[in-house]
Amino acid sequence: MMPSLVARCLAGALLVLTSACVQQQQAPSVSPAASPVLSWKALLIGGDDAQPVFSNAVDTLQQRLAAFGVAAQDIAVLKSDAPPGEGVANRANVERQVHRLAGTAATGCFVFITAHGYPRGGLVLARSRIVIRPGDLDRLLERACGALPTVVIASGCFSGVYTDDATLRRPNRIILAAARADLPSFGCSASERYTYYDGCFLDALQQGAPWQAIAARVSQCVSGIERRSGDPPSHPQAFFGASVARLAAF
């Protein structure tokens, strides 16, 4: 791992979310197996603006979800390069928008976070100078989504901390991460449109495709780009909860 890449992956990570940041209404506890997903609510977060790749991925994914039929009012977008206001990817707005993921028994929760990562920490919200740690994300999702089917895409260096975390590994959750917990991911460059992982994820994401198949295609794609670019393997990670193991995308 090159020193310059490590520096970018560590940029902006100074503070940690605390439990005081996650006081939201408890979502209804519903068995996903008995409640097929008919609609989705999504939160898309570009956590850093050091390079344009993060906002690019969020913008493209927003368009893709709209094409899949996800209602505009059910897609929340937060970006580090947004003008001051409710669209900024900061702690307060993340808490507010996660709360809005709460829905009926026929709702699925989808969270996409792309940002620089902090070793043994999580992904960075540069505007708030914090790291979203796995335990904090778990509490936010538990209060908003409860037992509803929930898909989390964590894209950034060392993002395997989310798939490794026991609190996040609940039966109703799917978690995909761009890299093993001890490894960086690549493509955080002004010369790239997306990071390697985000570009591969956008290519692999197909409506109605099983999430397990999407994860496999993303990993294969990332490995191919890393080999061609001469970068070391990042080893994307995945966790599939027992009750959503066969869940399809949107």
Q: Best-predicted range by mean pLDDT among 1-15, 17-31, 232-246?
A: 232-246
21 or 159: which leads in pLDDT: 159
Q: Find how far residue 171's CA is from the centre of its chain.
A: 18
Q: How confident is the model at residue 76 (pLDDT cuts 50, 70, 90)?
A: very high
Question: To the nearest whole percent, how much of the chain has pLDDT over 90?
Answer: 83
> According to the model, what pLDDT value does residue 37 have?
65
Q: Which of 12-21, 62-71, 150-159 has the lowest mean pLDDT?
A: 12-21
Write out pLDDT tens, residues 107-138. Answer: 999 999 999 999 999 999 999 999 999 999 99
Average pLDDT over residues 98-104: 94
pLDDT for the residue 115? 98
Q: What is the pLDDT of residue 38?
A: 75
The predicted structure's pLDDT at residue 36: 58
Give 27's pLDDT tier (boundaries 50, 70, 90).
very low
Instruction: Give the residue-averaged pLDDT of 176-202.
Output: 96
Helix/strand/coil (H/E/C) assignment for every residue in the chain: CCHHHHHHHHCCCCEECCHHHCCCCCCCCCCHHHCCCCEEEEEEEECCCCCCHHHHHHHHHHHHHHHCCCCHHHEEEEECCCCCCCCECCHHHHHHHHHCCCCCCCEEEEEEEECCEECCCEEEECCCCEEECHHHHHHHHHHHHCCCCEEEEEECCCCHHHHHCCCCCCCCEEEEECCCCCCCCCCCCCCCCCCHHHHHHHHHCCCCCEHHHHHHHHHHHHHHHHHHHCCCCCCCEEEECHHHCCCECC
C-alpha R_g of the chain: 16
pTM score, two decimals? 0.86
Q: Quick check: 30 pLDDT over 90?
A: no
pLDDT confidence tier of residue 207, bands split at 50, 70 and 90:
very high
Q: How many residues does the chain have?
A: 250
Q: 26 or 37: which carries more pLDDT confidence? A: 37
